[in-house]
Chains A and B, each alone.
Chain A
Amino acid sequence: MDRWSWQSKTTKAAEEKKSHIPSVRLYNGDDKTEFDKGSLEITTHRIIWNDGRRGIELPLKLVVRVDSVEATFTKSAKVVLTLSPPDHARDPGPVQTSKYDFVKLSFLKGGHLDAKALLVSLLSEKRWDKGVVAMKGPSSLMGGGLVHIERQIESSRAETDQSLNAAFRDIDALMDKGKEMVALAERITVKLSEKADSPGGDETLELKSHLLSIGISNPVTRETHGTGTKYHASLGDELARMLRAPLQQCGGVMSVSEVYCRYNRARGVALVSPEDVVNACKTLTPAHHGMELKRFSSGVLVVEGDNFNSVMRTMVDTITKNTCVSALTLSSIMAIPLMLARERLMAGEQHGLLCRDETEEGIFFYKNLFVEEPRG
């Protein structure tokens, strides 16, 4: 509540009243305030609360976010305004300090959704920024020129609105056609799937490629057509070429997220979707590409170079030299990210090379001595 100032009676330049809602209570964060049952006026520049006796205002430029909370049986609907830190140069107001950085507007007689929508659109317009310098008033000398500028700003804003509306109409027209396409394609998919005798015919493949082109998210499309297509195979080849050197540097393992980033950064344009990157990785083979996709039980996907076994051996040797390691120490010794250190230790454990010891300080890994030949 410490961002509110006493209401100033002067209207700002280009300020426009947008809405008036009765019966609104203000909350300082989660706490009720004494500003109860007043009316709320929303303008393009500020929110004004007034109960007849006193009025306070909040500049819209301090509002970072607008959320709404639905009414429950005992509580009325609210709009939550998250605010930026208080401006020290602000005009004096009713509250000096507040531990909260949000306020709530409680709409005792409804209207919260409209208010929220209005606030969201006003916040995106940011009319207070576009305001003209002088105030509206009887200044005939300057008045003419400034009014003209104001009108120009208004009309260009109106133009943007209009062109946006035109764009929306064009989108809708395009989508009408798209809707026909989707319906047609789906009818045929049903017909084809009814033909139980030839599940993998050429037509099915062709249809599925059409579906994918238009973006119909069909799980069947993805499974049988999404992977192993020529596109993904050639993408895989390209990836392998690009990754050979970096993979060596990373100790033979790289997360698929990193592959995605590197590849798209290298491409620059006509970027590839995460899904296509994953599908391309699925086409990698050790024989042909010298690397392959591996999936850990946690779901983490990595591309592993064929030097993986030697990496495992190096890791076990490192661990033996240090008696035991945690993921943190391993990551610094081998200079790999913590995530990968963890995954490698898990992999080592799963392959029976390591044993873990869970302590209060964390999890430590030792070389698995149980599988060693007993000495003497």
Chain B
Amino acid sequence: KQWYQRRVRGIGAVKKQHAARAKLSQKGTDLAELQLKQVSEQMEVFKTQLEEFAIKYKSEIKKTPEFRAHFQMMCSKIGVDPLASSKGFWAQLLGVGDFYYELGVQIVEVCLATRPINGGLITMEELCLRLEKSSGKTRKDIRSDDINRAIAKLAVLGDGFTVVKVGKQQLVQSVPGELSMDHTTALDVAAKHGGQLTVEELERLGWPDLRIRSTLDNLLEQSMVWVDEVNSTYWVPALFK
């Protein structure tokens, strides 16, 4: 009997706690509702301001790289990503998205088209050239900053879009799989010799045979490196001049 009484007391206390918490959370909800209303109102004000801004500057985004650069810099300064959502204000009112997403489409197309040759690695330089060629009308002023931003957004597609630094060059990778330091070092050596990679050069770095072999095999498997069996030389098509 005692045990039963103690148990009821326990349940009662818990019930009381629940009731108290519920009351507090109700108050909390009211407060939050008020603040949310405030946010909504402020959003409307901001939206109007953005609409006015867009009337003046919508075309500048596409035309003027300096404008784009300043705009992006200010956005990151205040902590917003204008490319975060196609339904966001920036995309809908200012059309920022259109510029970068279209650039993204073109980058994907160039990378897919050149992949059979270079295995999914292309220099930033070649990418820029091909982009300019493919749609000459509006695309004369693409800066590497624009390309970098577009590629950052493409990463989510799962094809391993990243920018890799090889020596002084920037290469755009469009296949999954991380390029290790050994890979990028070997590519850098190739870059210094017009795209040719020899075992001797890698030996000169002090690499043991096994390391040279495994790096070359790895790159060969990914089709980033081709071998000329007649002359026993290796070539990186992405780095041809």
Contact = CB atoms under 8 A, between A and B. Distances in A.
A98 interface: no
22 contacts: A167-B67, A178-B80, A181-B43, A184-B38, A195-B29, A203-B36, A206-B36, A217-B80, A231-B87, A256-B158, A257-B154, A258-B108, A264-B105, A265-B105, A271-B97, A271-B101, A273-B83, A274-B155, A274-B157, A275-B85, A278-B158, A301-B157
Contacts of B64: 164, 167
Interface in B163-192: 168, 175-177
Interface stretch (A108-116, A140-148, A169-177, A283-291): A169-177
A298 B84 contact: no
Question: Taking chain B's interface residues, is the majority helix, strand, or loop, or is none over half, making it mixed?
Answer: helix
Contacts of A272: 86, 101
B207 interface: no
Contacts of A201: 29
Interface of B: 21, 25, 28-29, 31-33, 35-36, 38-40, 42-43, 45-46, 49-50, 53, 56-57, 60, 64, 66-67, 70-71, 74-75, 77-92, 97-98, 101-102, 104-105, 108-109, 112, 115-116, 153-160, 168, 175-177, 221, 223
Nearest to B43: A210
A213 B85 contact: yes
B43 A338 contact: no
A354 B39 CA distance: 57
Q: Which of A167, A256, A274 has most B Cβ within 10 Å? A: A274
A274 B103 CA distance: 12
Contacts of A243: none
Contacts of A180: 42
Indicate the size class of the contact surface on chain A: 35 or more
Interface stretch (A5-13, A36-44, A55-63, A185-193): A185-193
Interface in A112-133: 124
Contacts of A79: none
B154 A195 contact: no
Contacts of A217: 80-81, 84
A179 B115 CA distance: 42
Nearest to A231: B87
A301 B158 contact: yes
Contact of B32 (A172, A182, A192, A300): A192
A207 B84 CA distance: 16
Contacts of B78: 175, 178-179, 182
A177 B49 contact: yes
B168 to A, nearest CB: 7
A276 B49 CA distance: 26
Interface in A72-116: 80
A201 to B, nearest CB: 7
Contact of A195 (B25, B155, B176): B25
Contacts of B177: 298
Given A191-B35, A278-B157, A197 B80 contact: no
A362 B221 contact: yes
A371 interface: no
Contacts of A374: none
Contact of B176 (A170, A177, A258, A299): A299
Given A170-B56, A177-B49, A188-B39, A215 B85 contact: yes
B223 A338 contact: yes
A167 B75 contact: no
A134 interface: no
Contacts of B115: 338-339
B53 A181 contact: no
Contacts of B74: 171-172, 175
Contacts of B45: 177
**Which 10 residue pairs spanning A and B have beta carbons closest together?**
A301-B158, A271-B101, A215-B80, A175-B74, A179-B78, A215-B84, A298-B176, A217-B81, A273-B86, A257-B157
